[in-house]
Amino acid sequence: MTEVAATQPDNSIATAVVLTGQAIFSTASALAPTATETPIPTETPLPVTPQPTATPTFAPGFTEFAQIRFIAPGPMSSLVSPIRVQALLTAGRSERVRIELLGENGRLLQRSLERVPRVPSGGVYRSFEIPFEIRAVSERGYIRISSKDDYGRVQALNTMPVLLYSIGENQITPIGNMMYERVAYEGIKDGAEARGGTVALKGRIAPFNDQPVFWELITTEGRVISSRLLDFKGVETQSFETTLPYKVTEPTRVRLSLHQDNLDFDNDPELKQYVYLHSIELTLYP
The three-point CA angle 84-93-254 to 5° equals: 115
pLDDT in tens, 231-252: 999 899 999 999 999 999 999 9
CB 284 within 8 A of CB 254: yes
Spatial CA neighbour of 202 closest among 216, 188, 218: 188
DSSP-derived secondary structure letter, 272: B
For 183-284, CATH number?
A: 2.60.40.2550
> pLDDT value at position 149?
92
Locate CATH 2.60.40.2550 in the chain: 10-31+59-179, 183-284
Helices (H), 142-243: none
**CATH of range 10-31+59-179; options 3.40.50.620, 3.30.450.70, 3.40.640.10, 2.60.40.2550:** 2.60.40.2550
Band of pLDDT at residue 178, cut at 50, 70 and 90: confident
pLDDT in tens, 180-191: 999 999 999 999
Spatial CA neighbour of 178 closest among 158, 156, 163, 164: 158
Percent of the chain whose predicted confidence (pLDDT) is above 90: 65
Query: For residue 205, is pLDDT > 90?
Result: yes
CA dist., res. 147 & res. 93, Å (int): 9
